[in-house]
Every structure is written in C-alpha cells, then in structure tokens.
Amino acid sequence: MVMAIKSPLYMQEWTLKNIIDRFGKPFVFLLSISPLIRLIWFGVNNQLSANPIEFITRFTGTWAIVFLCLTLTITPLRVTTGWNTLIKYRRMLGLFCFFYAFLHFSTWLFLDQQLDFSAIYQDFYKRTFITLGLAGFILLIPLAITSTKSLQRKLGRSWAKLHSLIYLIAILVILHYYVHKAAKNNFGEVIIYIIILGALLAWRIGRWSIRKHAQRNTA
C-alpha cells in the first residue's frame, strides 16, 4: 500500500490552523480583557492622573471605539483573505465593544453624574455629544442581547437586519467623539477613527453596489 506523504508546507499550514482553532479564542479573549486589567492596575497603583473620572471615561471610550473598529474589520478581512475562520471572532469582539461602552457609560452615570437625574437630564439635552453617545449605546444593547447562536437561529433573516444597526452605531459613535473633541478643538485622534470607520463603511457600500450591479446584469 502506498501512503500519501504530506509536504512540509502542508504540515505547517495544518499545524498553524489547529493551533489557531485551539488557542485562537482564548488568546483573543486575553488580549481583549487586557485593557481592563491595565486600568485596574493603574487604579491600584494610583496612576489614574489628577482627574481619575476623566481618565477612566476617556480610557473606556477609546477601547469601545477600538473594538468597534476591530468588529467591523472582520468581514472585509475575511472576504479579501478567504480566511473564513475569522468570523468566529466577530461576536467576541462585538461583545467587548459593548463591554467597554458599558463601562464608559457607567463611569459617566455613576462616577461623573452620581445618579443625579437632574444633571443627567440637562447633560442629555444640552450637550449634543452626550445625546449622540447615549443613542449609540442604547442601540448596542439589542445587538449584544441577540448575539447568541440560539437567538440568531430564532430571528432568522431579521437577525441580520437588526445587526445592520452596527453601521448607524458607528456613525453615532464617531459623531459623539467628534463633537466632544470639537469643543476642545482637539481633532488628532478622532480624525484617525473617522478615516478607519469611513474606510470600513465605504468598503461595505462598494461591495453592496457591486452586488446590485451584478444582480441587474443577470436579471
């Protein structure tokens, strides 16, 4: 009997795939939780700057945007590389986006406003960036709740329609960040995120346009 001999390159690819399949999710989880660990370390070592509440608010908000960008990057990366296994990380990254957004919102609600509903009401109506940020966070909630596979199956096609809210959320989040920075005339970081999110949304619009054009040609 002649046995098939696997090439060293094939074995390397097979080994890499198995390593990623086995350790990929725990590795991504550890990387995703590391900002929180770092924030706790800052707190324990009294390194939250002279204004701890502002530091925590800025820190958690930044990481919420980072994970939003990472979540939206999965599909373009998967399509362009053909590496379909990347799709299994999208849910985790999306949930970490919600997690850091929740910490961001909770810092404002409990530490900054101290549950003073009169001040919260004034902030909501007088400060546009608060309104935009709160709207984006509220829209994230149903996406986080319905991210499980069981609810995905129950909702069927409605699940995809619901989760397309992520694009509106991305717009609200970047407006929230932009309006906040505009008050301080500080656009350095926000421009970077506008470029990243703009490119990710533009890629999807381009892909949608190509599909529509192809459908018209085959109709």
Domains of the chain, residue spans:
52-218
- Phi then psi for residue 47, to 5 deg, are -120, 35
Please report, in tens digits, the pLDDT of each residue of the chain (219 residues total). 444 545 555 555 556 566 666 778 889 999 999 999 999 999 999 999 889 999 999 999 999 999 999 999 999 999 988 888 888 899 999 999 999 999 999 999 999 988 888 888 888 888 899 999 999 999 999 999 998 888 888 888 888 888 999 999 999 999 999 998 887 777 788 899 999 999 999 999 998 888 877 777 775
Place of tokens 């397309």: 164
DSSP secondary-structure letter at 187?
A: -
d(CA 95, CA 67): 9
DSSP-H helix ranges across 45-89: 52-81
Both tokens of residue 66? 């980072």
Note whether 99 and 52 are within 8 A (CB). Answer: no
Claim: this prediction has a pTM higher than 0.95: no
